[in-house]
Chain A
Amino acid sequence: MAPTVTKKAEPVKQGPPKLSDYKEILDESTFEQILEMDDDEEDRDFSKSIVYGFFDQAENTFKKIQKGIDDKNLDELSALGHFLKGSSATLGLIKVKDGCEKIQHFGANKDETGLIDEPDAEVCLKAIKKTLDEVKVEYRKVEKLLRRYYGEEVKDEEEKPEEEEVKEQKEEKPKEEPKKEDKESKESTKEPTKDASK
């Protein structure tokens, strides 16, 4: 398995979107720091586990936040915002982090900057609701980016294929990719190389 994996992994490295193209949603240096922790640049076990772990965590936290909103539990919401803020900041997911910070502040009966008190719990809840939606949007964006980065074919919603699947999908990539969004143009330029390498 090892040799083939290596061969296939190489294109993956070239194929994924360039992180530097997404500075607004992903802090490159922060994320690269995690990438540096990978023992193996091919499979990127470590960073992948971190990132995918974050996906799980984010989904769970969103659910909890939703529940917190339903329960009108501001304290809980603030804590959840803080919680997700921590990990998203660690990954360099700037927008997600900012949104989570707002949720944290609102949950603490503050305005979004956290500097001004906002005694009205209802206002806070509403703000949190709105912010949650924004955060989710940002999260989807960056999630898609990261999944692609790890060589995963992303359609609309997230899915977590095994490594094997990832590789198979890669081979199909050329056909599917044109349908994808903006960055497809970039990717397509790389496709020929990929085929050539095989």
Chain B
Amino acid sequence: MSERISRLKAKLLGRLSPKADADPSFHLKPTGPDSKSYSTGNLEEPLSPKERRSVSASEHRNCTPSTEPYNSSLPTPLSDPPSPLETPPLATPQHSDSTSFQSQSHLKAQTPIETQLTPTLDTVVERPTNDRRPSASYFPPKRPSLAIRRQSLLPPTHQHLISGLLEANLFSSDQGSGFTPLIPHEMVTRRIWVKRPGGSATLVPCREDAVVDELRDQVIMKYGNSLGRSFDSPDIVIRIAPRDGTNRSAHPERLLSPEEVVSSILDTYYPGGQKIEEALVIDAPSRRTPKPSPRHSIYHHHSEPGEHGDYFPLMPPVNANAGTPSAHSGAPSVAASAPSISIINSGVAPLLPSPGSRRARQRPPLTRHKTNSPTILHNQAPAITETGATPHSQPIPTAAPAIPTPPVAAPPVESPQVKSHTPPATASPRVVRKSKAATSPGAMFGGLIDGTVPPINVLIVEDNIINQKLLEAFMKRLKVRWKCAMNGEEAVRKWRQGGFHLVLMDIQLPVMNGLEATKEIRRLERLNGIGVFPKTASGRFSASNTSAADRRPGLHRTVSEEDTLPDLSLFRSPVIIVALTASSLQSDRHEALAAGCNDFLTKPVGFPWLEQKVTEWGCMQALIDFEGWRKWRGFLDSPRPASPAVDTTASPMQGGYRKESPQADPPSPSSSRAPNKSDHSESKPLPPDAQILREDSWGSGSPDTIDSPVSPHLPTPDDAVPTSDATAVAPDEK
């Protein structure tokens, strides 16, 4: 144990503030004696760090109310309890054992971090809690001078808060009532027992007036590993259960709504203080639904980055791939369905993947890479390059008629107000919705860690056939799709077809050089209003939709015909242009950047560098075009081979991303919506709409896309619009 502690400590020391770095002993010396003194009263006896650690550890085990470790939300070097960042959420034994503690966990007037960094404050702050402990011997605090407190994280202007605390502390015998008034409200910290279902409880600090939403932030910090990596704090749900023997009807078990004030709830439910066994239960969204949810499968998909399928299926390949056996057809669908099936069978949602399990999940993709990538690219990509002009004619790989989208459709949710919910039912819709969004990015990064290159489309602009061939080979190896252009003019022409995420642009080119081509592309992007944040992205802000609608018509007026890009949906974000410069001259680079390039590589291009750039920028693009990315993910859920209805002539991009075009004319979201919908359903094969929709609406803040499941149609901004409208209204209803 001590070994683990010291490891933890080392890590912590390494990551704490520079100050801490400068003086590693800083943490140990001041806090050590303190913590010891609390329980033993033997302040004088110096202990080696090891001894101290064992002392404090044993204290915990004995339920001695040493509050030291608990007071801080961030672990002090001494404390064994899990650091949110490093250890899994399950509480260490000390936590679950120290049951006597919760009553003291009331008021804490300091920020957690302080505890670690400023021992002087520690002394001060610990006092209140300490006082409460019957066994603790009271040590008149040596008031640290302000000079000593220079390490405090509090700005000087807040020093008075400390003083207030100290005064209260020193002069009130009844600390509970005595000093509370003196302490500015924001400073009062209450600690609250929380736990994961099945896990042991842990304490999180919370301001006295904090609402549930803030509590969730703390929880996410605490469970940095198991929750923090996959969820944002708004995604999690906190459940409260009534105390045994109390009136259940008055205080039913229920989910806490974000706007409720934590302390008042606790006071209501647990008069006299929350006990450890009364810990609030933290539920992560994905586990909430008893039924197999499409989301669920998505979730799992997300954790397998690089999964088959085409993101931005610009090029025809994937379906053609059907020939390539294992990779695309069989395996994926199985993988996709597995999670939900297991849920059905067991009736229990699988545990939230811990970091560990997640990693395991991601492994398959790697293997897959090796096997299918070369084949796929080999066969198809070259062909594509030739036929370059037909990106639009690609079949939507995913467009397959929906996957099991069943029950999800009718998400119970009526309103975002979770309050009214009876306990176990479903998570607040809102929570659920967001979970999607929150989840996927994590997975994405997971993929990055695994060395997976995002499935982007690359345009290689290189006049030298030799270099071009090599770059193509690199692209094959990276498993990204590409096209080639021999000169700047061709590059612009191909770019205008849309769908590219990354351009590798040789600078010195015949006809139109790379800089000119870059400038031209940037000019067109500007004229067509292609920005990082697509106006119609997810309907997150309903305002954005209207503005988009306004804008487009105007745009048509002002932009000359020849400059108008055919289908803006193919240009989700400005393309990333990486200049390939033959010389390493700084001036050339500056010139390239000035022309609008985002980055540069020096020729000859080495594979490692290229891989790095493609990965970096590809992930960036995937993030920017997050919606498209997720859609691409969602598509995966439909077994590709099983999609006979796929309209091979439809561009996947059009299908998946046709957002702007409908919006150009619609005067109001509502009016435009229905027509569009029908339009879509006619012309497009339907993807697993419900899932996608869900995902689409993640940003809108509206839970109830009730209609979405019912009326299958491709997610379009239109969907998002009503959604967001609904959201906007919801708060008012309250």
**Residues of A with Cβ closer than 8 Å to B?**
30, 33-34, 36-37, 39, 46, 49-50, 53-54, 57, 79, 82-83, 85-87, 89-92
Contact = CB atoms under 8 A, between A and B. Distances in A.
Closest 7 CB pairs of A and B: A87-B466, A37-B473, A89-B604, A90-B604, A86-B464, A87-B464, A90-B467
A90 B473 contact: no
A150 to B, nearest CB: 16
A176 B474 CA distance: 38
A85 B582 CA distance: 9
Contacts of B582: 82, 85-86, 89
A91 B464 CA distance: 12
11 contacts: A30-B606, A33-B607, A54-B466, A57-B465, A79-B508, A79-B510, A86-B506, A87-B464, A87-B466, A90-B466, A90-B604
Given A49-B469, A57-B466, A39 B374 contact: yes
Given A83-B464, A90-B467, A91-B466, A37 B604 contact: no
B470 A37 contact: yes
A53 B468 CA distance: 12
B463 interface: yes
A90 B463 CA distance: 13
A33 B506 CA distance: 20
A86 B603 contact: yes
Contacts, number: 54
B466 A50 contact: yes
B473 A46 contact: yes
A82 B507 CA distance: 11
B477 interface: yes
Contacts of A54: 466
A30 B473 contact: no
Nearest to B606: A33
Contact of B470 (A50, A79, A85): A50
A49 to B, nearest CB: 7
Contacts of B510: 79
B466 A92 contact: no
A85 B474 CA distance: 20
A91 B473 CA distance: 14
A30 B603 CA distance: 11
A34 B467 CA distance: 11
Interface string B433-474: 000000000000000000000000000000111110110011
Interface of B: 374, 463-467, 469-470, 473-474, 477, 506, 508, 510, 582, 603-607
A82 B466 contact: no
Contacts of A49: 469
Contacts of B466: 50, 53-54, 57, 86-87, 90-91
A30 B604 contact: yes
A53 B473 CA distance: 15
B467 A53 contact: no
A26 B476 CA distance: 25
Contacts of A37: 470, 473-474, 477
A135 B453 CA distance: 39
Contacts of A57: 464-466
A53 B465 contact: yes
A92 B604 contact: yes
A54 B469 CA distance: 11
Nearest to B470: A90
Contacts of B474: 37
Nearest to A86: B464
A111 to B, nearest CB: 15
B385 to A, nearest CB: 16
A53 B469 CA distance: 10
Nearest to A114: B583
B603 A89 contact: yes
Contacts of A53: 465-466, 469
A36 B607 contact: yes
A87 B467 contact: yes
A50 B604 CA distance: 14
Given A37-B474, A79-B510, A50 B469 contact: yes
A63 B466 CA distance: 18
Nearest to B462: A86
Contacts of B467: 86-87, 90
Nearest to B583: A114
A39 B604 CA distance: 21
Contacts of B604: 30, 86, 89-90, 92
A33 B474 CA distance: 10
Contacts of B477: 37
Nearest to A58: B466
A90 to B, nearest CB: 4
Contacts of A92: 604
Nearest to B507: A82
A89 B470 CA distance: 12
Given A30-B604, A87-B467, 20 more contacts: A34-B473, A37-B474, A50-B466, A50-B469, A50-B470, A53-B465, A53-B466, A53-B469, A54-B466, A57-B464, A79-B510, A83-B463, A85-B582, A86-B464, A86-B466, A86-B467, A86-B582, A86-B603, A87-B464, A90-B605
A73 B467 CA distance: 25
Nearest to B474: A37
A167 B470 CA distance: 26
Nearest to B471: A90
A142 to B, nearest CB: 14
Contacts of B465: 53, 57, 87
A83 B603 CA distance: 12
Nearest to A83: B464
A92 B527 CA distance: 42
A37 B510 CA distance: 28
Contacts of B464: 57, 83, 86-87, 90
A183 B607 CA distance: 31
B583 to A, nearest CB: 8
Contacts of A83: 463-464
A33 B607 CA distance: 7
A37 B611 CA distance: 14
Question: Which residue among B466, B470, B473, B606 has the maximum number of chain A CB atoms within 10 Å of its CB?
Answer: B466
A87 B467 CA distance: 6
Nearest to A37: B473
A143 to B, nearest CB: 14
Contacts of A79: 508, 510
Contacts of B606: 30, 33
A129 to B, nearest CB: 23
A170 B253 CA distance: 84
Contacts of A85: 582
Contacts of A36: 607
A85 B604 CA distance: 10
Question: Which residue among A30, A37, A49, A57 has the maximum number of chain B CB atoms within 10 Å of its CB?
Answer: A37
A34 B464 CA distance: 16
Contacts of B469: 49-50, 53
Contacts of B508: 79, 82
Nearest to A89: B604
